[in-house]
Amino acid sequence: MLQKVLLLALAGSLGTLSRYGLAGLVQRWTGGAFPWGTLTVNLIGCFVFGVLWSLMEMRYTITGEVRAIILVGFMGAFTTFSTFIFECGTLMQAAEWWKALGNLAVQNGAGLVCLFAGLTMGRWI
């Protein structure tokens, strides 16, 4: 158990550093008018998550622990957006259209509401 936690932490650290480095590099290259760094990380994260999931499901026998280390540890730290999109895609593939739409609407809408509530609370405190 401790080994798994340490490997998750290591993978998470690598994902965080990868996100920080790539987003910063892209943002410096493109300028600051639009969050191109975040967009790049999120799109690459979605693509890599899809490739990894497909390989783990169809081509390679990967244990649940190794999947968790790669997908939760590295990819979760690199971008949680990829997990969000994967879950929406899974709902769409299952023809759960209302659930997929609800997931998109609630997470984005509630996320914005929570952000502004947090900003207001931070200013109030």
In the chain, domain spans:
2-78
**For residue 104, is pLDDT > 90?**
yes
**For residue 83, is pLDDT > 90?**
no
pTM, to two decimals: 0.79
- The C-alpha atoms of residue 122 and residue 10 are separated, in whole angstroms, by 32
Q: Which helix (H) or strand (E) holds 107?
A: helix 97-124
At 39-59, the pLDDT tens digits run 999 999 999 988 998 898 888
**For residue 11, is pLDDT > 90?**
yes
